Amino acid sequence: QGMLSGKVAFITGAASGIGEGTARRFVEEGAAVILADVQQEDGERLQRELTEAGGQALFVMCDVSDASSVEQAVTQGVQQFGQLDIVFANAGINGVWAPIDELQPDEWERTLDINLKGTYLTLHYTVPHLKRAGGGSILITSSVNGTRTFSSAGASAYSSSKAGQVALMKMVALELGRDNIRCNAICPGLIHTNISERTEQRNTEQLGIKVELPEGSPALHEGEGDPVDVADTCLFLASDLGRHVSGVEVFVDGGASLL
Ligand code: NAD
């Protein structure tokens, strides 16, 4: 009997990094996972791997910045597994990091659309299912950027989106307490995933922007964490161990942001 036996989790950004690590951890603990992502190939590969090992997993195509895409993905996942108990709004991008007078309006919008509006849409379409299940646990991936660390020059769009997620989390925790739904944010420090590579690739190859990480950026910190470090924190918050915890940010950075 795993800690999440009989539970169904909807995870965005599940094809890579923190989302993938958490999906693996949740399946180990007996959950069925709905893997929502824009990356079909990686998502389907993960679904195959998890199901071949005896777990329950379904990849669903989902662009979190698009309302109808999220609605469809949630419907498809719930149809497959019959219910929803855990929601992990995790999909996110770094976007373009640039000083405010150089940061272009469409890049600001893209970062906010995926990171903040995407979180709203994910919650908007999943919460009715949590209510129907009689309760549940919502997790949101924010960041130390925008909550405790403001040393990364150029990260105004990213940090604003991450701060916005915390405000959203607190409102949702307040609104849904009576429905037996908890809502918390995890704020990772630097975690070893594909996010930086992905950002650099888009910035240099598609936009022709050479991003130079400003001094004080988290990428310069020593001691990166691993997705499994975040996954274990998520497991605590998603499971009954976290039953009396709601409305908080949990920093998963090994204490680095205290510096
Ligand atoms: P990652 O790039 O490895 O994974 C992110 C996943 O999100 C990818 O699979 C990507 O395809 C998906 N995604 C991107 N845009 C999407 C969209 N519009 N719709 C659906 N899926 C989309 O990165 P990661 O580090 O695992 O990032 C996960 C979350 O963690 C992000 O919200 C990020 O801001 C946050 N975070 C990461 C770090 C870090 O150091 N890696 C630190 C703090 C916070």
ipTM value for the complex: 0.99
Q: Which domain holds residue 178?
A: 8-254
pTM of the model: 0.96
The CB of 19 under 6 Å from ligand 1? The reply is yes
CA distance 40 to 195: 17
Residue 98, token pair as written in the block: 């640039």
Residue of 109 and 207 predicted with greater confidence? 109
Q: Measuring from atom 19 of ligand 1, which residue has the nearest CA?
A: 63
Indicate whether 1 belongs to any domain. no
The CB of 161 under 6 Å from ligand 1? The reply is no
Number of independent structural domains in the chain: 1
**Strand ranges (E), the chain:** 8-12, 32-37, 56-61, 86-89, 136-141, 181-188, 249-252
Ligand 1 center from residue 92 Cα (angstroms)? 4
Residue 204, token pair as written in the block: 């240099």
* Mean pLDDT of all residues in 241-258: 94
Candidate from 35-44, 119-128, 150-159, 207-216 with smallest mean pLDDT? 207-216
pLDDT band at 257 (very low <50, low <70, confident <90, very high): confident
- The residues with which 250 forms a beta bridge, in sequence order, are 186
Ligand 1 center from residue 246 Cα (angstroms)? 23
Q: Which atom of ligand 1 is nearest to the CA of 193?
A: 3
In this prediction, residue 171 carries a pLDDT of 98
| Catalytically annotated residues | 158
Indicate whether 24 belongs to any domain. yes
Residue 78, token pair as written in the block: 């719930």
Indicate whether 42 belongs to any domain. yes
Indicate whether 173 belongs to any domain. yes
Indicate whether 3 belongs to any domain. no
Indicate whether 259 belongs to any domain. no
The CB of 22 under 6 Å from ligand 1? The reply is no
Indicate whether 239 belongs to any domain. yes
pLDDT for 217 beyond 60:
no
pLDDT for 220 beyond 50:
no
The CB of 242 under 6 Å from ligand 1? The reply is no
Place of tokens 């409102």: 171
Indicate whether 38 belongs to any domain. yes
| 20 three-class SS | helix
Q: What is the CA radius of gyration of the chain?
A: 17
Choosing from 16, 64, 169 the residue with most ligand 1 atoms within 8 A of its CB, the one to mutate for a pocket test is 16
- CATH at 42: 3.40.50.720
